[in-house]
Structure formats: C-alpha cells, structure tokens
Amino acid sequence: MAQTQFLQSPPLSCATAIDSRHSRIVKRTCQVFAVPESLPNQWAGLKTFVVVERQGERDRQPFHEYQF
C-alpha cells in the first residue's frame, strides 16, 4: 500500500538534509503522505505515513534505499 501511494500521490510535506560525516555523504529526504480511504481494516485510524529516502556513498560505495 505505502509503495503504491508513494508512487502515485504528491506528498503532504517534504524535507531534505545532507550529511557528510564519518567518511560518507548521505542525502535524506523525508516525505509525509495521506493514507487512502481504501486502506484495509487492519490499519483503521491511520491518517498519514512517512517515506524516508536515503542515497549517497558509504566507504566509497553508492547506495539508495527507501524506508516506509
């Protein structure tokens, strides 16, 4: 559900930060999304969800990941 909503809807809010410490460079983007009304009953009452995207370089190795 979160992955589909993330790809289809604009975020309600967004913030980005860049960190260049400890031999790495990391760009973090945090986005807040509204939960669709068609949400399964097991998540009743949930209004928003957060997606954190991290990308950059650790020990000279590139990475790109999402946390929902």
Model confidence pLDDT, tens digit, residues 14-63: 999 999 887 788 999 999 998 877 776 777 788 888 999 999 988 788 99
Residue with tokens 């669709």: 36
Query: Three-class SS string for 2-67?
Result: HHHHHHHCCCCEEEEEEECCCCEEEEEEEEEEECCCCCCHHHCCCCEEEEEEEEEEECCEEEEEEE
pTM for this predicted structure: 0.76
Alpha-carbon torsion 47, 33, 1, 36, what sign? positive
Whether the CB-CB separation of 40 and 18 falls below 8 Å is answered with no
